Amino acid sequence: MTTPGDTALGRFKNLLGSGRGNTRAPTRLSSHEVDQALLLMRDYEESGIGWFWASDKDGRISYISDVVAQKIGTARSELLGLPIQSLFVLERDDDDGSERTLPLIFSARKTFTGLQVRAATDTASVWWSIAGRPQFGPDGTFNGYRGNGVDVTAVRQSQRDASRLAQYDSLTGLANRHRMGKRLGATLTAYKAAKRSCAVMMLDLDRFKQVNDTLGHPAGDELLKQVAQRLQRVIAEKNCEIGRLGGDEFQIMLPDVDDRGRLGEIAKSVITMLSQPYQIDGSRCVIGASVGIAIAPYDGVSSEELVRSADLALYASKGGGRGQFRFYSSDLHSEAERRRQIEEDLRDALANDQMRVVFQPIVDARTNTVVSLETLARWAHPELGEVSPGVFIPIAEEANLIGALGDWVLKQACIDGARLPGNVKVAVNVSAAQFANPGFSSLVAQALAHSELPPERLELELTESIFLGDRAATDDMFTQLKMLGVRLALDDFGTGYSSLSYLQHAPFDKIKIDKAFIQGVTEEGNRNAAIIASIVSLAEALNMDTTAEGIEAHDELEEMRRLGVGQIQGFIYASAVPIDDVCDAMLSGDWVIEPDGPSKYRPERRTVLRKVGLIHEDHRYDVTMRNLSRSGCMLEGLVDVPIGTQFVVDFGEGQLAVAVVRRSAGAMQGLEFEHHLVDDGAGGLCTRHRVSPYVLAQAGMPLAALPPGQYPMQLMQQPGGAITLPKFGQVEAKHKMPKFA
């Protein structure tokens, strides 16, 4: 039998009642007023606007509105008697420092309002704002809570959306500049006290502007989305954050990573991944990426310092030819200033007759006869001397000077080429900017007519970046050039994003195999030989010539001949020479060059000729480093050092490498590193890790052996012991390098 207290009205009457449980005198309501209040409360519940709840003195549910049971997906009767906190989940925001929990709130027996909780259900995200008031008897005995709740799901979602918009990029979903700056600042502040490291990568897309200009901004937006997705796939480091700062600029934060070998690998993976082709609205796009890397605390301790260092490294990587990464170093400041000067002077270089061209022979692999000459630009700066093409070509591209420079080289190559006897061809590199010029074929025709060079002796070398533009315009330019009778070569084939469709549609006469496939081709287990053989077979099937670039050693040359490569270019035959030398060599007819180089390829040992520190026991010597490889270096400056002597080589800026003497003759020593050096992204080498001098001092290394600097007083208090005398005498480095016995 159901009692009046078990009905809905009865439950409401129990709630309203006569104010039982309050210490204050209750307000007397007439029977009619109680009925009206009950009806109002029931309508309020049924409207879905809000609901009511009550608990007993033990914190168990004594009343709950049906709407709560419906949201949770359980019958209301099953909720009665459960702990009240079992209905809700209290979630704090990241920046909420409160340690409150639901059991703590309910056990406090105090009034609370506006407490936002999530419904304890896995089916949907429902949020309520709840309030509660404790109930006490006349004697002060706690009788439980009475309260109400309101659905705030929509409001909270709106707040979260607004918060996300303030912290995340709406286009890519990555963190925005504000969030990246805030998180990097907080991380560096915490890590400074804990003496932990944090790396930052600044990333800029190469040739992105061309996508916007040729395919439109919607295509550029789609490309940025795909770039963001690729970055998220390739960056797998724990706790990292990827952000888009604006435009085509991205930032990656890598906490607790200071291994420059690992960072270099990540940067290379990013560059390789982002350089793969994209499909945008049916069009094929190929871009690239440049990366600058800085590491705290070595390159900055605040977010502003670290980002500035990474930006400077990024600027250097773009200036080094793009598609590269660079680590920050202190000399980048002077390098950046030098680049600015070069950009200003480059604008006047052509007008001031500072530019010239030289020619590198391309040789028939079977007969050693020169069949073609690649034209290369050189710049004799009046103050800086010879400026490397690796420096001024990227600057010319960035400053929109590459078109004018390329046109000048084309005209000069035709003039010089016309002086040569026989059928030797002249090859000229053509930039994407030149090729995209609708009047380019007319410029080629004018250069041929002015020089009277036969068209079949002019070979235009094109990179795959020319395919970034409009397909119809590209095909039309190919048609115009072939009508002129010139030859076309696909340069740098196989560098990571080649497409066979290029060879299917474009009328190339030659494929140039990039030197990246040549290096190490004779090493056991290297797969490059199989790739080169495939390229040669493909070229033969399409009636195209093949040229292997960058051949330096006899074992590489023999391997290219075995694989059927038709033409060879590299130092094993000749470096680039002036046109007068070419003419002299061809006075008697064909120019035959006998290959001259090392018998076997070996990793390059860089000639550096700079001062480094050499630490032995408690002494630090200044010596001259003659050359450097990943596994060792040659030093000059100490006399009669025994083989087997162990040193610590101090390269500066915290770069220390343990090494042992393997060869020694007079004042010259050959050292082998305990751990190999890693690529610094600029064609040089660096240590995998850097070491703070404070760490060395704490480890017990005598202070006399440490580089100059300020050290805490407590580190000066080292165990006693006499300072030993230097074991090796020092001499001034000589210019001539003696041979080891």
> What are the tens digits of pLDDT across the range 224-238?
999 999 999 999 777
Which of 11-25, 391-405, 463-477, 708-722 bottoms out in mean pLDDT, i.e. has the lowest? Answer: 708-722
Three-point CA angle 561, 562, 563, nearest 5° = 90
Indicate whether 655 pLDDT > 90: no
> What is the spatial distance between Cα 211 and Cα 215, in angstroms, rounded to a whole number?
5
pLDDT at 699: 56
pLDDT of residue 739 exceeding 50, the answer is: no
Give residue 733's pLDDT. Answer: 62
**CATH superfamily entry for domain 353-585:** EAL domain (3.20.20.450)
pLDDT of residue 298: 86
Q: What is the pLDDT of residues 261-283, one digit of tens each?
A: 999 999 999 999 998 888 888 77
| Strand ranges for 76-121 from DSSP E | 88-89, 112-119
**Pairing outcome for strands 50-55 and 142-151:** antiparallel
Q: Which two tokens stand for residue 455?
A: 């068209």
Per-residue model confidence (pLDDT) at position 37:
74
Instruction: Tell me what pLDDT residue 415 has.
Output: 96
Confidence of residue 476 (pLDDT cuts 50, 70, 90): very high
User: What is the DSSP track for 370-430?
Assistant: EEEEEEEEEEEETTTEEEPHHHHHHHHHHTT-HHHHHHHHHHHHHHHHTTS-TT-EEEEEE
Rounded CA separation 249/527 (Å): 35
Kindly tell me if the per-residue pLDDT of 23 is higher than 60.
Answer: no
Q: Parallel, antiparallel, or unpaired: how do β-strands 655-665 and 646-652 relate?
A: antiparallel
> Tell me, what's the pLDDT at 17?
46
Over its C-alpha atoms, the chain yields an Rg (Å, rounded) of 37
Contact 338, 322 (CB under 8 A): no
pLDDT at 662 over 70: yes
Is the pLDDT reported for residue 400 higher than 60? yes
Domain covering 168-330, topology: Alpha-Beta Plaits (3.30.70)
Judged against a pLDDT cut of 50, whether residue 69 lies above it is answered with yes
**Structure confidence by residue, pLDDT tens digits, 667-682:** 999 999 999 999 888 7
Question: Which regions of 173-248 does DSSP assign to beta strands (E)?
Answer: 198-206, 241-246
**DSSP summary character for residue 733:** P
pLDDT tens digits, 299-350? 888 899 999 999 999 988 887 777 889 999 888 887 778 888 888 898 888 8
pLDDT of residue 711: 38
Output the pLDDT for position 376. Answer: 95
Where residue 721 falls among pLDDT bands split at 50, 70, 90? very low
Q: What is the pLDDT of residue 10?
A: 53
CA distance to 180, 619, 622, 698, per residue, from 694 (Å): 30, 17, 21, 6
Choose between 91 and 667: higher pLDDT. 667
With a cut of 50, say whether residue 425 has pLDDT above it: yes
pLDDT score, position 134: 94
Tell me the DSSP string of 585-618.
HTTTSS-B----S-SS-----EEEEEEEEEEETT
Could you count the other beta carbons within 10 Å of the beta carbon of residue 185? 14
List of residues 6+ apart from 324 with CB closer than 8 A: 271, 290, 291, 317, 681, 682
pLDDT > 50? residue 9: no
The number of beta carbons lying within 10 Å of the beta carbon of residue 678 is 20
Average of per-residue pLDDT across 362-381? 95
Q: What's the rounded mean pLDDT across residues 634-640?
A: 91
Q: State the Cα–Cα distance between residues 430 and 410, nearest whole angstrom.
A: 8
- pLDDT at residue number 603: 60
> 688-702, pLDDT tens digit by residue?
988 754 465 555 554
Report the pLDDT averaged over residues 68-76. Answer: 85
In this predicted structure, the answer to whether residue 402 has a pLDDT above a threshold of 50 is yes
Instruction: Determine how many CB atoms are found less than 10 A away from the CB of residue 686.
Output: 21
Which of 669, 651, 671 minimizes the C-alpha distance to 659? 671
Q: Retrieve residue 719's tokens.
A: 């165990």
pLDDT in tens, 496-548: 445 566 777 789 999 999 887 887 788 887 888 998 999 999 899 999 999 99
Cβ contact 461:431 at 8 Å: no
Q: Are 669 and 640 in contact (CB under 8 A)?
A: no
DSSP code, position 730: B
Q: Please state, rounded to an integer, the average pLDDT across all residues of the chain.
A: 83
Confidence of residue 580 (pLDDT cuts 50, 70, 90): very high
Higher pLDDT, 387 or 722: 387
Confidence of residue 93 (pLDDT cuts 50, 70, 90): low
**Helix, strand or coil, per DSSP, at residue 170:** coil
Instruction: Supply the pLDDT for residue 734.
Output: 59
Work out the percent of the chain whose per-residue pLDDT is above 70.
85
Q: Mean pLDDT throughout 70-76?
A: 85
Is 652's pLDDT higher than 60? Answer: yes
State whether the Cα torsion 77-78-81-84 is positive or negative.
negative
Q: Which pLDDT value is given to residue 8?
A: 47
And the tokens for 367?
A: 């007969």
Does the 606-716 domain belong in CATH 3.30.43?
A: no
Residue from 82, 11, 20 nearest 52 by CA: 11
- Tally helices (H) and strands (E) across the chain: 23, 30
Two structure tokens written together for 224: 């940025």
Question: Mean pLDDT throughout 93-118?
Answer: 76
pLDDT of 193:
77
The yes-or-no verdict on residue 703 having pLDDT over 50 is no
Long-range residue pairs from 703-710, CB within 8 A, at least 24 positions apart, any chain: 704/618, 704/619, 704/620, 705/615, 705/616, 705/617, 705/618, 705/619, 705/620, 705/648, 706/620, 707/613, 707/620, 707/650, 707/652
Q: What is the predicted pLDDT for the residue at 100? A: 66
The domain over range 4-158 is classified in CATH as 3.30.450.20: yes
591: confidence class by pLDDT, cuts 50, 70, 90: very high
Which range of 411-415, 596-600, 604-608, 704-708 scores highest in mean pLDDT? It is 411-415
Q: Is the pLDDT of residue 16 over 60?
A: no
Q: Where are the domains of the chain?
A: 4-158, 168-330, 353-585, 606-716
